[in-house]
Each structure stands twice: as C-alpha cells, then as structure tokens.
Amino acid sequence: MKNRRYIVVDLETTGNQATKADKIIQFSACIVEDGKIVDQFSTFLNPEKRIPPFIKELTGIVDKDVKDAPLFEDVSSIIHSLIDGGIFVAHNVSFDWTFLQKEMREAGEAPLKMKLLDTVELARIMYPTVDSFKLQDLADEFGLGHDAPHRADSDARVTAELLLLFLEKLESLPLATIRKLTTLAQHLTGFLAELLFDIEMRKEREMERLDPQWLEYRGIVIRQKDVKVAQYSRADNLTYPSSDDDKIALFQTADVTLVPRVGQFLMMDTVMDSWKAETDTLIEAGTGIGKTLGYFLPAIYFAKERQIPIVISTYTNLLQSQIFHKDIPLLATLTGFDIQAVVLKGRDHYINLFKFEQLLTEVDKTYDVVLTKMQLLVWLTETTTGDIDEVNLSGGGQLFWNRMKHTGWFLSPTKDPWLAYDFYLFNQKQAKAADLIIVNHALLLQDHYGKGQWLPDYEYAVIDEAHHFTDAARAQKSFVFSYRRMKFFMNRLGTLGKEAILKRLEWMFPEQHQLFDVEIAVVKLEEALDDLFRLLAQKLLKSHKNTTELILVENVIDEKLDAALFFAGEKALLLMREVSVALDLILTEGKQKAEVFDEKESAFLEEVYSFVIDWKKAENQLATMLYEKEEAMMLYIESDRHKSLGSMRLRADIIQVNHTLQKDFFDTKKAVVLTSATLTVNDSFAYIQAELGLDADIITRQIKSPFHYDENARILIPSDMLPVKGTSLDDYTSRLASYLSAIAKETSGRMLVLFTANDMLQKTYRKMNQDASIAEYRILAQGVSSGSPARLTKQFLALDKAILLGTMTFWEGVDIPGDDLSCLVIVRLPFAPLEDPYTKAQITLRKKMGQNAFQTYSLPEAVLRFKQGFGRLIRREADRGIVFVFDNRVDTTNFGKAFLHSIPEVPIVKGREQELLEEVKKFFE
C-alpha cells in the first residue's frame, strides 16, 4: 500500500465532450505517496478558442487567464512523465481520463499506462450514508477546505484529501467485509479490485482479530446491538414540574443553556393537562416558543410516571432523525432520566439479512447491483437500525432493494438463519421497551389503517407538524397505477425462457403446470396493459391542451370511468388476478414442501412472497379505481411533457379523510396533542378542526411568538407593480426582475424570493441573470440551478452575495437564521392553481356540499401556506428583516386581510419603488 503512487487529477475544460472540439483549460495533479500528498503540479492551458460563458460562470476562469498560458502540446511531455505508471485517480474518473487521453494523442505522446480509481465510486462504497457524492458536498461533509470549487488546483487537492480518507476507512474495515468486497469488485473496472485484494491478503497474514463492536455471522459482519430497557431509580423524581418556578429550577440544574420562555411553559402545561383530562388538543406554537421541548418534557414525565409509551409523530424521516439525535439527548440532560427512545419505520424500510445473504451469492454484473451490494456490506458494519433510509442508493439500487426489503416471513421464521439478528424484530423489541416511540405520519397512519400491525399498543400521542396530517392521511389512501411500475413487475416475473421469477420457480417446481398458465396470462397482460395505457395517452393527447394532467373522474361516488377505459382496465385486472391466484397456489405448495428446500431456495420463496404482496397491492389499487363507490376519490392521468407511453400514470387521490380520521383514529386514543406553527386562519382553529374531523369541544391553545416583530420586521407592499391579470408573463417578469435587482442592491442579496409557478420563476431568473447591474450577485433558482432544495440552501448560506428563487418546497422547512436572510419576497399569494386536478376536485366537492369553496378551502389553504412562507424570515430572537408582498390583493381585497391578520403584528408600509427602497435603507441603517 505505502509504495503505491497515486496521481490525483482534475481538469477544467471548455465543455463536456472530449469527442468534439472541447479543450483543457486547466490541469492539476496531486501526487500521493506513503499516505500523504507529496507534490502538486498545476497549470492553465491555452485552448486557442474562447471560453464559453457557462464555463466562465462555473469555474471563474476567463480568457485573459489562459491567453498567455502554454498550449497542451508544450507541457504534454512534462504531464506524461509526471503521471505515467502511477494509479490515475479522479472524481468521476472517466471524464478526466477520456479528455487527457485525447489531448495526449493529439500531442503525439505515447499512450499512458495507468490503472484507474474513481473517488465517486469509492465514496459511494465507503460512506454509503452521505447525502451527496458531489465533490463540494463531500468536502463540506468531511470539513475539508475547498476555497475555489471548479478550479482544477483546488478540486485536485480536495480529491486527494478524500482519497486518503477513503483509503484509511478501507484499512479499518473487518477482514470478512473486505473479503466480500474483493469478490464483488471483480465485476467493476479499474484498480479497486486489486487494491481490495492486497488489503485482504495483508489482513489474512496479520490474522487480524474482530473488533468487539462487530459480530461476524455466516461471513457477514454486522454491528453489535442490544435492546435497551429504561432503568428506574428510586432517586428519580418523576413528579412533573407544574409551576413556572419548578421548571426554571429544572432548567438551571441541567448543564445546558436554556432560556425560560413563558409560552413554552404554557405549552408544556397544556400538553400535560390534555393527557390527564384525556382530551384531544390543538396547539399553535409560534416561532421561537421551543415547540419540541414544549411537548417532549411533559411526554417523558407522563411516560415514566405511567410506565407507558408515548408516540411522537413528525412529518418526514429527516425530522424523525433530528428529534432523535438532537432533542432526546437534550431531554436526558435536562431531566437526568435514563430515556429509551426508538425511531420506528414501516417493515419494508428494514433489510432482510437472509435475502441479502443469498443475493450476495448471485452473480449479477449489473453495475448498480454490484455497487449496492458493496454499499450495504459497509453499511452493515455501522448501522444499528437496518433502516435503508440511511443509505444513499442509486436509482438502480432502489429497484434492487425490492428484492431484499423486509415483508415478514412466508415460511416459518425458524427457517431464517438470521432470525436472532433481524433488524425489524430488534426495532419492534426496542419499541416495546421504549418510553418514546418516534414515527412519521406515514407509519402512524399505516398502522392505523392496518389495524395496529406495526406499533405497540399506545393511547397517547403527539402529532408535530400537524398541518400536514390530513395530507399524510390522504397520501396513505391515495395511489398511482403506472405503466413503468407494471413493466418493472412484468420484468421481475419474466417468462419460462427468461432468467427471472417464473424460470426459477420452474426449477423448484418442475411438475407445477400452473406456471404455464401464469406465462400465458403474463403475455396477455402485457398486451392488455399496453392497450389500457395507450387509451390513457390518447385521451391526454385529445384533450387539446398543453397539459400533462387530465381528470377522468372528479368523484367516484357520483361518476365512473367511461366504458372503453373501464373495460380495458377490467381486462388487465382479470389477468392480474389470474397471475396472483396461480402464484398463491405455487407458494402454498412451497410451504408444504418447505423442509426439502435448501437455504437459497427458502430465501427465494420469501422473495416471491414479497413480490406477490406488491403485485396484489397493485391489483387491489386497480380494482379500487374501477369499482370504488364509497370514498370521495378522484381519478386522473399524469404524464411527462412528451406524453410518452412510459410516463403514463393513472392516479387516484382521496379528497376527504376527516370522517375516517375522527372515527377510526382520534376516537380510539385517550388523548392526542396536535401542534404546529401554522394551525389558525384569522385566529380561528375552525378550518383545521374540520379537516381533521376533530370535535368542537377539544382544547385549543394559540401561543404567540415571543419575538418582537414590531421592531424587527416590516411588510412592504409595492403600489406601482404591474397587475398579474391582464399583463403578459414577459412584461410582468421583466418588471419583477428589475424590482428584485433594485431590492438586492439595498440588502446585499441575502434574499429569498418565493414563487407559486415554475414558469414565472424561470423567466424571472433568466432576466435577472442578464442584468449587468447585479453581476456580482450569485442567483440560485430551484429547478434551474443544479441541486436539491437542501443543496441550494447550503450554497446560499455559503455565498456572501446571493439571491435564492424557490417554489413551493421553499415555502416551509427552510431554516436560514441570522444575517444570511434579510429579505423575503412573496411574489404571489400562494393560492393553489385552479387547473390543478386535486384543487378542482376539492372545489367541486365543496360546492356539491353547499359550501363556499373559496372560503372553506382555497383561502384557508393559501393563508396557512402564506404563514409558512412568512415564517422563513424570523427564525431567531435577534433576526431582523423585511418582507415584500408583490401581490397587492393582500391590501386591496377583503380576503387579503385574512393573510395579514393570521401572522404576527408587523408594521406595514405601502408605496412606490423608490419610497420602499428608501424604507429598506432606513430599516437596515
């Protein structure tokens, strides 16, 4: 290992295509030997052509930088002698290697003799849980200085530092894991297989002993884990601190800095009173209250005192993780209790180790499959949960996951040699011994609709981010029947002549004639599905609209699918049922013969059982679409903009869930506390109560934010902005872009602009980007700039002068505290677009119920979203900032007042552009 010479290379080029006329404009190579960077060579190169604008923007390299630089052929021999014979390393190695080979050929140099190593591939394998494998993101993740991203010298240095990290991690892995990685790496190109083999041989020679943190079983290494049961001590004071003085005293005894807040104390008491009185409660906790601790403190006292579990439900997996890793330790420090908490997910989030072990023995050279197996081997040395959400899988890896996800046991669990180490059972045991069970809304509702299959018995719960609870309930009962998913199922089934499920079943059940019936049904089903989805595509094309969505049935209670679609769907459904009936018969025979099957065959039967569960779910969904007449449900077509057959999706959305939530969920619990920063409209809980189906006599508490909005914020409403109605999109976005540029100059950027429509965002972005007066500002735009919302937010925080344009994702959940965000712009009041199928169905349903759809649905939904958007500005007590609302309906209409009455009291200033810019200047002075 130490004698190896790694040449870590990065190139900047005039474009992405080595096969065309693109050229290298900067070359850098770091030499890594003996576990350290020993040298670096960098040079600009003259491409003898102009550098394209997008490359200038990306790299910061301009024409004058390369004007007097050498041509590649002038330094080709130096580069050749420097790197030849070493191991060529790069981040996405094929790009740099292809470009360098091409330039070397053109310079007349001899072919390079090098083995290749890709740090993207190494990162995916060594650190499978990292959110992003981009170079900048990895540098951030590991705290590596990366002063000039997209400059070859800086990129090469960071890549070399990452290489050293990855090599160190490789060396630390246990021998059994390295053995399996070495076997799998034979199917990859490049140097990795040789590197792994050398490490394996050295570890064999040294007879390395397994670290106690690990356990090796059947050749796979997993992390040791034990079910932790809460310990109760006589010294534990389990009496809830009921007075404010008691709470202050508790805060002072803990070794943490906590500021006593009246609103937070009120929330704690309201939660405790709710559970004691066994009454459901709605609490709107304004920003800065300390909502999480506001329910966590009474929850742990109540759980300890009664020795029962309390369920805490959040909206997303990310929030679950934050609560577990940040808030539970704080709660333990504060109370001094031994707190047992567990994050629980649905069963198919956990890996089935028996299936995984058998899949490791299958020779599948598909890149994504090999990579995923290697990722999971490393991950198993680290995880104590077995939750696949921890792993950053590729698209192909996510499909492969379907073959090893947990779906319970078809054969007796005793046939599973991994039963003692099963992650799903471990998490279930942990949940039964826990004080606090942290779930997301999806699992809570899945458990509710599945009659308690996943969670231990519980009677008290907290639902955080409660404004999303009805959305989550609808999502649980809504579904998509797609062409792509059905094709995936058909490929997994295969035929008797193709290496897939049916072929393998034929080997196991040679006398089973049902398999021929299945094959005939599959062939017919392929044709029936093509007919069904072609019919959907034709309907979408005939709608004569530039749309990718088309409502088929607005409410199945009153309408049904047209005859042609109904019969096409029914034909496909009958064939799906033929397949599932035949597979059930084969599985039944498999269960009867279970004793004759070896482990590989048993694991395969479990995989078939899992497949049949998914198949029947799709079958039941299609049946629901065709025959459902009880629930308020809409059906519509979705596709991509090309309306291609492969993109066709038949979607069913439940429109109302309030009655089932009340009867089947809230009425079955003793007390549920629902909380969020946005629950009221015009200081009333009426809308959210109706949506959730909660009784009128529940406890409601509105706790205002403690922040001084009157001093620290302003709302500015332009009186000279063009009206949206009657103004072309081009004219409107030109004026908007000009206005935003003027504001940016006064606020030094630090501006988040919230849109409700992608086309308006994109046009505004393009016009701002062409404005020379703000050339020094970096403009980031959702859907235009590369990266997820989280990545764009991270970039925004890292830049001194930046403007961030976002759509609906950015209206909530984005946390940009302090001086990083000084100006929030709301372009339009966030009403859902009327052409949105779901919105249309809601409006139609409410009209049929004799309600005013605008007052009972459109307005309250928009107000709650507006409150979420407004909440992005002031996140901490010392934050200051301004909010521009460009939609003057907030001031000129009666309904507009509902928006302003629903947020904290903030001084409002109306005026023309120059007057408002003066106000901005004065505010920040």
pLDDT tens for residues 165-180?
Answer: 999 999 999 999 999 9
**Which among 182, 216, 219 has a CA at the least distance from the CA of 201?**
182
Determine whether the annotation assigns residue 285 to a binding site: yes
| 115-118/87-90 β-pairing | parallel
Q: What is the mean pLDDT of residues 754-773?
A: 92
Which residues lie across from 34 on neighbouring strands? none
User: What pLDDT band is residue 505 in, cutting at 50, 70 and 90?
Assistant: very high
Q: Give the lowest-confidence range in 471-485, 556-570, 809-823.
A: 809-823
- pLDDT at position 236, please? 60
Q: What is the mean pLDDT of residues 571-576?
A: 97
User: What pLDDT band is residue 697 in, cutting at 50, 70 and 90?
Assistant: confident
Same domain, 631 and 512: yes
**Which among 802, 819, 825, 820 has a CA at the least distance from the CA of 749?**
802
- pLDDT at position 622, please? 96
User: What pLDDT band is residue 1 in, cutting at 50, 70 and 90?
Assistant: very low
Range of the domain at 119: 6-172
Q: Give me the chain's average pLDDT, please.
A: 91
User: What pLDDT band is residue 233 in, cutting at 50, 70 and 90?
Assistant: low
Q: Write down the pTM of the prediction.
A: 0.86
Single residue among 639, 654, 669 that ends a domain in this structure: 654
Q: Cα 863–865–869 angle (5° rounding)?
A: 115
Split into its structural domains, the chain has a count of 4
Same domain, 649 and 747: no
Measured CA to CA, the distance from residue 13 to residue 9 in angstroms comes to 13
CA-to-CA separations, 843 to 149, 659, 849, in angstroms, rounded: 49, 18, 10
Q: Give the lowest-confidence range in 364-378, 400-414, 674-688, 794-808.
A: 794-808
Determine whether the annotation assigns residue 24 to a binding site: no
User: What pLDDT band is residue 235 in, cutting at 50, 70 and 90?
Assistant: very low
Instruction: Provide the CATH number for the domain around residue 738.
Output: 3.40.50.300
Residue 440 belongs to some domain of the structure: no
Amino acid identity at 205: R
Residue 862 belongs to some domain of the structure: yes
- pLDDT at position 732, please? 95
What phi and psi values does residue 110 have, to the nearest 5 degrees? -65, 150
The CB density around residue 486, as the number of other CB atoms within 10 Å, is 21
Q: What is the mean pLDDT of residues 594-614?
A: 93
**Which among 242, 254, 240, 247 has a CA at the least distance from the CA of 305?**
240
Same domain, 569 and 626: yes
Q: What is the mean pLDDT of residues 342-366?
A: 93
What phi and psi values does residue 236 have, to the nearest 5 degrees? -65, 125
- pLDDT at position 234, please? 44
Determine whether the annotation assigns residue 134 to a binding site: no
- pLDDT at position 565, please? 95
Q: What is the mean pLDDT of residues 204-233?
A: 87
Same domain, 168 and 178: no
Residue 699 belongs to some domain of the structure: no
Single residue among 610, 639, 654 that ends a domain in this structure: 654
Q: What is the mean pLDDT of residues 784-807?
A: 84
Residue 333 belongs to some domain of the structure: no
Instruction: Read off the tokens for 30.
Output: 């770091």
Residue 313 belongs to some domain of the structure: no
pLDDT of 558 above 60: yes
Residue 87 belongs to some domain of the structure: yes
Q: Cα 533–536–541 angle (5° rounding)?
A: 125
Measured CA to CA, the distance from residue 717 to residue 916 in angstroms comes to 8
Residue 721 belongs to some domain of the structure: yes
Q: What is the mean pLDDT of residues 428-443?
A: 92
Same domain, 644 and 739: no
What phi and psi values does residue 67 have, to the nearest 5 degrees? -55, -45
Q: What is the pLDDT of residues 458-469, one digit of tens each?
A: 999 999 999 999
Same domain, 595 and 714: no
Residue 427 belongs to some domain of the structure: no
The percentage of residues in the chain with a pLDDT greater than 90, rounded to a whole number, is 68
Same domain, 147 and 167: yes
Measured CA to CA, the distance from residue 422 to residue 400 in angstroms comes to 20
**Which among 768, 762, 856 has a CA at the least distance from the CA of 806?**
762
Same domain, 521 and 640: yes
CA-to-CA separations, 202 to 6, 126, 208, 741, in angstroms, rounded: 20, 19, 9, 61
Same domain, 809 and 855: yes
Same domain, 163 and 200: no
Determine whether the annotation assigns residue 287 to a binding site: yes
Same domain, 648 and 730: no
Q: What is the pLDDT of residues 706-752, one digit of tens each?
A: 999 999 999 999 999 988 888 899 999 999 999 999 999 999 889 99
User: What pLDDT band is residue 230 in, cutting at 50, 70 and 90?
Assistant: low
The CB density around residue 869, as the number of other CB atoms within 10 Å, is 27
Determine whether the annotation assigns residue 290 to a binding site: yes
Q: What is the pLDDT of residues 245-304, one digit of tens each?
A: 999 888 887 677 778 889 999 999 999 999 999 999 999 999 989 999 999 999 999 999
3-state secondary structure of 8: strand
Single residue among 151, 172, 193 that ends a domain in this structure: 172
Q: What is the pLDDT of residues 48-82, one digit of tens each?
A: 898 888 788 778 888 899 989 999 999 999 999 99
Same domain, 716 and 610: no
**Burial (0-12, 13-18, 19+ Cβ within 10 Å), 315:** buried
Determine whether the annotation assigns residue 107 to a binding site: no
Instruction: Provide the CATH number for the domain around residue 151.
Output: 3.30.420.10
What sign does the CA torsion over 147, 148, 152, 153 have? Answer: negative
- pLDDT at position 878, please? 85
pLDDT of 229 above 80: no
- pLDDT at position 231, please? 65
The percentage of residues in the chain with a pLDDT greater than 70, rounded to a whole number, is 98
